[in-house]
Amino acid sequence: MPNAAAPSPLERVGSWHETVAAYIQPALTLASGLLLTQASASFVFFIVGGSLAILLMVSQVSSNLWAKRVARLAEQNYKRQLEAAEDAAREDYLSQAKRFGLLATTLEPIQRAAAAMVIQNKAERDATFQVLVKELLEALRFVYSGVEGLRAVVYTFDDARRNMNVVGQVSHGRRDAAGPFLEGTKRGKLAMDRVRSNKPLFVADIADAPNDWAGSGKGYNTFIAYPVTSSAAAYGMVTLDAVYTDDITEENVDEVGLVAGIAAVVFACWRREESPAKRQPSVVD
């Protein structure tokens, strides 16, 4: 949008006396009126009164011009802000669509490899499982390659269903390792309850985190936690966290959910021969 034209001399006068116009104009009206009523007594009164009347007119015109200019500039500024907001929203939408499409394309071969696990023996499935978990995490790291300090982690329940351990993690420049969620701790109980109830969680800023979260908060300030579940079992969780609060938004929840959905297929195929005593806890709706 083009820059606003420079103000005219009358507009500059309007700007100058904008704060005192409420005092000047009534005074000019009163003074010019009194002098003009005495014009018959002296020509001087007529000249001075007429001059004051002209000055009053100039004051009113300049005030009106300035008010119109202020309104015009406000409208132009509003339009600029609206256009900027629309451009930002359009850019965010296209960026999200691109990330989601890229992620879906990256995850497709992982899903096919997971399906092939059903014909593998236990040792082969264990090896394939580790490879596929790493590929899932690398897919997240690739899609969010521009986020400094990003970390993605996959957790799973242990055989006793008492703890939720780290299966794998990747990051951009982070050295701190994610810790397990342990039975008997508030952090562990809240995380495992959320997985069993199949409730994803996005926290824009851990300073405002809900009461049903008790993560460590070490090395990150925003995160997404997405349960890895099927209709029959809860397997674990995928998390994505970052150092800066604006680097992860609510729009990213579906992207992490897509990874968690593929992870559920991987976990289900990996655990297909487990005995009932070792199956993961059922999902509670």
- pLDDT score of 37 more than 80: no
Class of domain 120-278: alpha beta
Q: Which comes out higher in pLDDT, residue 9 or 1?
A: 9
Q: What length is written for the chain?
A: 285
**Rounded Cα distance, 130 and 107, in Å:** 15
Q: Parallel, antiparallel, or unpaired: how do β-strands 164-171 and 201-203 relate? A: unpaired
CA angle in degrees (0–180, nearest 5) for 105-191-101: 10
Q: What was the pLDDT predicted at 134?
A: 93
Banded model confidence at residue 130, pLDDT cuts 50, 70, 90: very high
265 contacts 238 by C-beta, under 8 angstroms: no
Q: In whole angstroms, how far apart are CA 160 and each of 126, 157, 163?
A: 18, 8, 8
Q: What was the pLDDT predicted at 211?
A: 78
- pLDDT score of 192 more than 90: yes
Mean pLDDT across the chain: 76
**Rounded Cα distance, 264 and 90, in Å:** 32
The answer to whether the pTM exceeds 0.85 is: no
**Rounded Cα distance, 169 and 167, in Å:** 7
- pLDDT score of 23 more than 90: no
Q: Please state the domain extents for the chain.
A: 9-85, 120-278
234 contacts 281 by C-beta, under 8 angstroms: yes
Core vs surface per residue 176-209: b (16+ CB within 10 A) or e: eebeebeeeeeebebbbebbbebebbbbeebeeb
Q: What was the pLDDT predicted at 95?
A: 62
Q: Which of 83-87, 157-161, 239-243 has the lowest mean pLDDT?
A: 83-87
**Rounded Cα distance, 10 and 63, in Å:** 8
DSSP 205-269: -GGG--TT------S-SEEEEEEEE-SS-EEEEEEEEESSGGGS-GGGHHHHHHHHHHHHHHHHH
**Rounded Cα distance, 103 and 95, in Å:** 12
- Range picked from 35-39, 102-106, 225-229, 251-255 for highest mean pLDDT: 225-229
How far is Cα of residue 252 from the mean position of the Cα atoms in its chain? Answer: 9
Banded model confidence at residue 181, pLDDT cuts 50, 70, 90: very high
- pLDDT score of 276 more than 50: no
132-153 confidence digits (pLDDT tens): 999 999 989 888 888 888 999 9
- pLDDT score of 109 more than 60: yes
Q: What is the SS3 assignment for 181?
A: strand
HEC string of 121-169 equals: CHHHHHHHHHHHHHHHHHHHHHHCCCCCCCEEEEEEECCCCCCEEEEEE
